[in-house]
Structure 1
Amino acid sequence: MDQDFTPLSFGQNKGFSADSFDMEVAAARFGGHGYEEEDAWASMTLWVAMRTGDVYALCPLLPSKWQASTVTVPSLTSSIVRELAVAQAEAMESDDELKATQQQYEWLKEMDNQDISVVEDETMVTEIRARPTNPSPIPRLQGPFLLDFEGLEEDMDITDILVIAPRADIDDLMAGEDEPELLSDNAQSGLSGTIICLLTSMGTLHVCLEMDGVKGQWLPRTCKNTFSTPMSEPSDLLLLESLETVRAKDRQSNMWPMFSEAFGSRYDFFVTTARTVSFFSLSSWVHRVEPELRSEDTAGSAFRINIICDSEIAEREQLLQLPPTDIAPDSSEEHLAGCLPIFDYDLGYLLLSFSPSKPCAVLLDSPEYEDFRASMAPSDSEEAPESHVPVPAHTRPPYQVPSVLYLQSPLVSFVADHVPHGHRHTLKEPVRLSPSTLELFTSAHRILSAYTHALEVAASDLFRRCERLQGEMRGQLTQLVEIGERIQDVSNGTVRGTVKRPPVDREQVLSSRLSAAQSRQVELTERYNNIRLRIIKAGGRPISEKEKAWMKEVDALSTSISEEDGKAKGELAERLETATAIAKELLSKMKNIPDVVDSAPSTPNTTHPMVPQRLQKAKVADAMSMVERESAVIDAITSRLERLSSSFPDL
């Protein structure tokens, strides 16, 4: 059964409608900026994201006066004329498609036939066009564009949308032209599909791709009984990647992530959440996948595209993160504002944001600025004058006013927060000593002391900074005075009161220093040779290894002797005397033994026992051997004492 889609009259009660929930708009953004490298329909298309996740498009949405780029009208003409020729030559799938193509041709025909207003400026000439009224000034709502992914949550809460326009069809536009290089290099780069990025309230980033494109469609004129049912079939968005920009512990109930476009490439953008600012780039993925999409050789192209899409699509980098102490999670006002990128050749590439307590800024690298500086630098072939490397200035971060100076005094809401309703009337009465009064004063003192302490810390920090600034200013003034005196001395031809010396040739100074160094080297060489010869003559032959070992033994013996000097001398003397006495006694006994044997009678004495002669000879032999051993010991001791006495005259 057909439904009535006609709009309600003014002031008519519409009652309940599902559109009040399903069609709640979260964000809207145009699909392009009107650049030459973008598709002609992109800058005229307004993409609308609903809170539930559906995406719609209005094309073309133009003001009454608008400006077109140099490529917009030729690109529209080539595409619309070609599609109309195909539609007339072949049967279209439906009457709606043929009707839409005819409406586009009528719209383009009226735009070509109208008069163009030319506005001349000092730098450029601008062509202003009027919005065509045929077939209708109101575009038709196209969509919905739905995410084609089963794993997505059903209750998505979309907060912002970012649309990156597809590249213009340069091959079709420049067909038959002899000079296609008139277009810029950026016009021949980019992706042939529309990239749509969606942000949710939980900080999830969905990167989607739409390949069919959006073209102009209009509503019929507002005549009675001529409003027809709009035929708009849902289209699918190819979900490329889903990224979490916020950790689960950092999520807040009032979080509202937002997009911000970056400079340089239209495939770069920033995402601002409650506490962080992150940078995302799709340029690398676009440069890898676009050659596969436009390649004429389709063998294995699907496999390669799947590999590229399964890899990392978005490159991310966190640029700014506020510490947890600067943000109160339970406060609905603490949230970073949407970041604003600023690019200036004097300031550089800045990223600005703001929190309720202080501003935030990040200085980024700018490749365009580096290329500009490289182009302005003199080439190597040119003779550039000698340039001194500038000394980097000592910089410090600017003073940030503490957030306590922005906060409202806690005493303003003290009565409403800490005083019970039944005790508030006692505040206007005379003070009475009671437990409730003591508790009231204690609470006030606790809150006021914490607040005044924070104010004291903030004021003391400012006071110290002011004192340090005064000291630095005095130091800089002193340096300026010294530099001024030096400049005055140089201008007068004197340096600190001394007469300025005439200029000396640099080569002459270097030659004199070189000759002095050479003469000094010769002198040192002669001194070294003389000392070496003296040492050789005084030393004689070198000491052998045996002599070195004997010297070590003598040193060890002298050390052992020196430790017990007194005892050693006494013991050696006593041992020498004892050995000498024993030797003399044994010698005397040895001399008397033969006399006794010879003087003995031939007949033995009957009073003494008889000793065999063999036993006597054995005893004599033992005595002689003992005497010889004692004599050898005495000789060894005597020779050792002589050696010791020669080494140590003290003995």
Structure 2
Amino acid sequence: MPKVKSYAPAWLCRPSPGASLFTSNPDKSPAQDLQNKAKPSTQIGATRTIAKRGNEVFVVIDNEIRWSNLARVKDQWQQQARQKKAKDQTTDSLPPSYRVLSVPVYGLIKQILPSPNGAFLAIVTEHTVHIAVLPDSSHLSSTDKSTIRLKTYQLGPTTHVIPESPVVSALWHPLGLHTNLGGCLVTITADAAVRIWELDRNNHWSFDQPTLAVDLKKLVDGTSSDQDFAPSGFGKSKGFSADVFDMEVASACFGGNGNDKEDAWAPMTLWVAMKPGDLYALCPLLPSKWQAPSATIPSLSSAIIPKMAALEETPEDLEEELIACRQQYDWLREIDDQEPVNPPADSDTIRGADVFSRPANPSAIPRLQGPFRFDTGEELDDLDLCDILVIAARLDVEDLMMGEDEELAVESSDQDKLSATVICLTSGNGRVHICLELDGVGGQWLPKARKNAFRTPLSEPADLLLAESLDTMKTDGTESVTWPTFTKDIHSRYSFFVTNASNVVHFSMSSWVQRLESELQAEDTTGSGFRLQVICSGNVAQREKILQAEDVDVTAEKEHLAASVVFYDFDLGYLLLTYHPSNPYAAVMDAPEDAFSATMDLRHYDQKTSVEDPLALVPRRAPYQVPAIFYAKSPLENFVEKHVPHRQRHTLKEQVRLSPATLDLVTTAHRVLSAHTNALERAASDLFRRCERLQGEIKDQLKQLSDVAERIKGVSSEIDEDGTRKEGARDGVALDKRLQAAKDKQNELVQRYDALRKKLLNSGGRPLSDKEKAWISEVKTLSGSIGETQPKPGEEDQQLAQRLETVKSLATDLVAETKTLAAKAPSAPEPGSPASPGGARPRVPQRLQRAKIADAMRMVERESAVIDAITARLARLNTSM
């Protein structure tokens, strides 16, 4: 978990020039804006009006886009601070440290999204989408601070219009080709219409019509891939359907980023979250030209071909799975038949990626998978979902690297990955739901239409495993308009930030994911059900509040924090940034350590206290920021130009007359001035309350310091300068006992920690070795040979000794009998003497005699070896008992 080192840095707060980046136009009074602003609706949608490009930041203030380089702003502030200290100069008249980017957008901007290569900026209003061409950072960083008018294209002038459904999400495709001349953007509207736009500045038609458009309400009931799933055109009447409410889109995101270490299907899967609570998946959703990471095609081949070969052996039992697998095989075979093309030189492509054309077989439009649902246990069916975040499953390295060197396979593994998809959802009441999708989502398509055959594909709802539901804010019973949004963390893919209306909370699942993955990948499944239940019943995510914005300024009332952005740079550090109108909120955090080295050993706890940095204390609250109303101009300065008609201005220089026009003028002036003075009074009263609270806290701190000083003085009065205790001072036996008790307690905790650690290591899913398995089987065999009946404790040694004596007597009898037979055998004749044919005993050949004697000796040796082995085994058993 990251720890907050400090809040909004000085170079972003007044009176530094960096604060002007988030300051509204001084010609406009915040009180007037609040007075004239309409009340926000209950469903405000996601507010993503701050974005980044490296160290650069784009912010929407007063519906205008501003650009600034935070690293340069910080450097300039440091230089000006040094100059001010040296020459005693003020910085009140410094020019603003930002550039205004002028775009012909007339609606209220709700989202700004830079392209992956930073060449374009998608500007999303409620009903329109504009694509602006961004200049290079060197051009924006020039000394000229004038407004820059950007080249802008309107996306779908006849598609995204006011009478149509509003735009909910706009996403840059992770597998699209993004160059300086074009890119791939996916837009999703509230009526569940998904459109893919493959932009090309040399082809203006690409900004007018999408290359692929799908209406999810039609696709969910589709039976054949030959049907028309395109959304209804502009101006066409739409009939009523229950899907209008059940499939109202809240948000959407792709399942992956196109990384080589994540599941191959993830970056081409679009997840769509509906407001009532259902989730749907489109896989694969690709543009006509897409880039494939280096591990995508091999991983798909290693997964599809063996699965189809296994399903073909039993086609009657798993017919649906076999049909889906054959579709995936046909889709993959068409990709294999293509010749990959190298991406353009100016494109922001994945390392080692090849460019392919989208397969036309089985279809360009995939089948809609879902709905995916999870049981929350609540009475209400509608969850009022707001945002979705999908963390892709890790790539199955074992199947991909089968037959390769073991060293290469080990290098390709990653321990910070989970073999299941994690889906995080936010609802309007501020709750975060963390779910697991264990089956995996692969490519699926609708079947082709056939004559005289009607077959409806099975589409049953799939269940998600709800791991945990957490709250991100405290509810005091009053309704508050909030739309929680996700922001990915930089350091860990299983950590993220959630931005609410007034706070930002950090969630981390890294430790839980590691424990869950080690149990899922264990070879020995004995007791795994119990261990998984224990893992899932505990805390899944650790949460910590990073920022808290106090709505004390009138300009920030009933406003929503913009979705935060995270920077991690040598100049900026680990910085979280968001803002209210005219008030930036930031937090500088410590970079989290590695998950394995973050676990502190209790043996060295005494050496890892705050001795290294005794002043590194966590701040209790964010620093006070001066409200914007104190810096705003008086509304009476431009009152005449704004509120008095031109034909009545000459009456202001005449004698005041009692008339309806004069009364109207006075009431208007009172309304404007009262709003401004009310804002000033509220800001001043908040400052007064803060000063009173600060005085009380200082008194408490002084009292604590005095108490500590008295205690130190009492202890030091009994000790000489050389460290020895003075004569007549109190005995230190009590202090020594307390110190020894603390040390004993620490040693006990260390021993308990070591015992628990060893127990967890031994029982944490570690498979048995071959020697251990052989030893277990040998013990079972020996226990069976001893006897099934268990002897009593007093009779066990007697039975073993009796059996040993019996074995020894049998061996002695066999040896004696063997010697007797050997003595009765005729002796071999001498080499020169002839055999007497008339002897009393029959003549036995010498070769047969030697053979019989050899067999007998081998039998004796074998029995002796068996006896010795049994004797040694019994001796070991006696010693172990």
TM range (shorter): 0.5 to 0.7
Closer, same or farther: CA 405–128 of 1 in aligned 2, 3 Å: farther
- Quote the Cα distance in structure 2 between the aligned partners of 1:229 and 1:267: 39
Shift of 1:120: 7.4
Instruction: Tell me which moved more, 182-191 or 279-288.
Output: 182-191
1:337 alignment partner, one of 559, 562, 567: 562
Shift of 1:24: 0.5
For the Cα contact (< 8 Å) 2:293–2:351, is it kept in 1?
A: no
2:322 alignment partner, one of 81, 95, 98: 98
* 3-state DSSP of counterpart to 1:447: helix
Does residue 174 of structure 1 match 2:405? no
* 3-state DSSP of counterpart to 1:187: coil
Shift of 1:316: 0.6
* 3-state DSSP of counterpart to 1:338: coil
2:571 alignment partner, one of 341, 346, 349: 346
2:583 alignment partner, one of 358, 363, 367: 358
For the Cα contact (< 8 Å) 1:170–1:187, is it kept in 2?
A: no
Shift of 1:109: 0.7
For the Cα contact (< 8 Å) 2:416–2:510, is it kept in 1?
A: no
- Quote the Cα distance in structure 2 between the aligned partners of 1:345 and 1:3: 52
Does residue 39 of structure 1 match 2:266? no
- Quote the Cα distance in structure 1 between the aligned partners of 2:391 and 2:370: 18
- Quote the Cα distance in structure 1 between the aligned partners of 2:561 and 2:679: 28
For the Cα contact (< 8 Å) 1:220–1:226, is it kept in 2?
A: no
Please tell me the residue identity of whatever aligns with 2:510. Answer: S
- Quote the Cα distance in structure 1 between the aligned partners of 2:406 and 2:297: 19
Does residue 447 of structure 1 match 2:671? no
Task: Tell me the residue number matched to 1:294.
Answer: 521
**Greater relative CO (CA pairs within 8 A, separation 6+):** 2
* 3-state DSSP of counterpart to 1:263: coil
Does residue 53 of structure 1 match 2:277? yes
Within-5 A mapping of 1:201-350: 201-220=428-447, 229-249=456-476, 253-326=480-553, 331=558, 334-350=559-575
Please tell me the residue identity of whatever aligns with 1:324. Answer: D
Task: Tell me the residue number matched to 1:25.
Answer: 249
1:89 alignment partner, one of 313, 323, 328: 313
Does residue 13 of structure 1 match 2:13? no
Task: Tell me the residue number matched to 1:463.
Answer: none
1:305-340 per-residue CA deviation (whole Å, 9 max, x = no partner) reads 111111111001111111231367863xx1100001
Shift of 1:226: 9.0
Shift of 1:450: 2.2
Task: Tell me the residue number matched to 1:486.
Answer: none
- Greater gyration radius: 1
Closer, same or farther: CA 347–225 of 1 in aligned 2, 3 Å: farther
Would you tell me which structure has more helix in proportion to its own residues? 1
- Quote the Cα distance in structure 2 between the aligned partners of 1:144 and 1:328: 42
Does residue 113 of structure 1 match 2:340? no
Task: Tell me the residue number matched to 1:473.
Answer: none
Closer, same or farther: CA 357–178 of 1 in aligned 2, 3 Å: same
Please tell me the residue identity of whatever aligns with 2:283. Answer: C
Give the alignment's TM-score, normalised by structure 2: 0.43
Please tell me the residue identity of whatever aligns with 2:334. Answer: E
- Quote the Cα distance in structure 2 between the aligned partners of 1:370 and 1:78: 31
- Quote the Cα distance in structure 1 between the aligned partners of 2:476 and 2:320: 51
Task: Tell me the residue number matched to 2:102.
Answer: none
Closer, same or farther: CA 428–248 of 1 in aligned 2, 3 Å: farther
- Quote the Cα distance in structure 1 between the aligned partners of 2:537 and 2:679: 58
For the Cα contact (< 8 Å) 1:264–1:368, is it kept in 2?
A: no
1:407-465 per-residue CA deviation (whole Å, 9 max, x = no partner) reads 696669999xx99xxxxxx99996347999699599469728827968999xxxxxxxx
Please tell me the residue identity of whatever aligns with 2:565. Answer: L
- Quote the Cα distance in structure 2 between the aligned partners of 1:353 and 1:152: 35
- Quote the Cα distance in structure 2 between the aligned partners of 1:151 and 1:48: 22
Shift of 1:348: 1.9
Closer, same or farther: CA 230–25 of 1 in aligned 2, 3 Å: farther
- Quote the Cα distance in structure 1 between the aligned partners of 2:442 and 2:656: 79
Report how many residues are paired.
427
Closer, same or farther: CA 15–409 of 1 in aligned 2, 3 Å: farther
For the Cα contact (< 8 Å) 2:562–2:579, is it kept in 1?
A: yes
Please tell me the residue identity of whatever aligns with 1:154. Answer: D
Task: Tell me the residue number matched to 1:487.
Answer: none
Task: Tell me the residue number matched to 2:819.
Answer: none
Closer, same or farther: CA 183–69 of 1 in aligned 2, 3 Å: farther
Shift of 1:363: 1.4
Unaligned runs of 5+ in 2: 1-219, 597-615, 617-621, 645-650, 685-881
Shift of 1:264: 1.6
Please tell me the residue identity of whatever aligns with 1:200. Answer: S
- Quote the Cα distance in structure 1 between the aligned partners of 2:436 and 2:313: 31
Shift of 1:185: 5.7
For the Cα contact (< 8 Å) 1:404–1:454, is it kept in 2?
A: no
Q: Pairwise CA RMSD of aligned residues?
A: 4.4
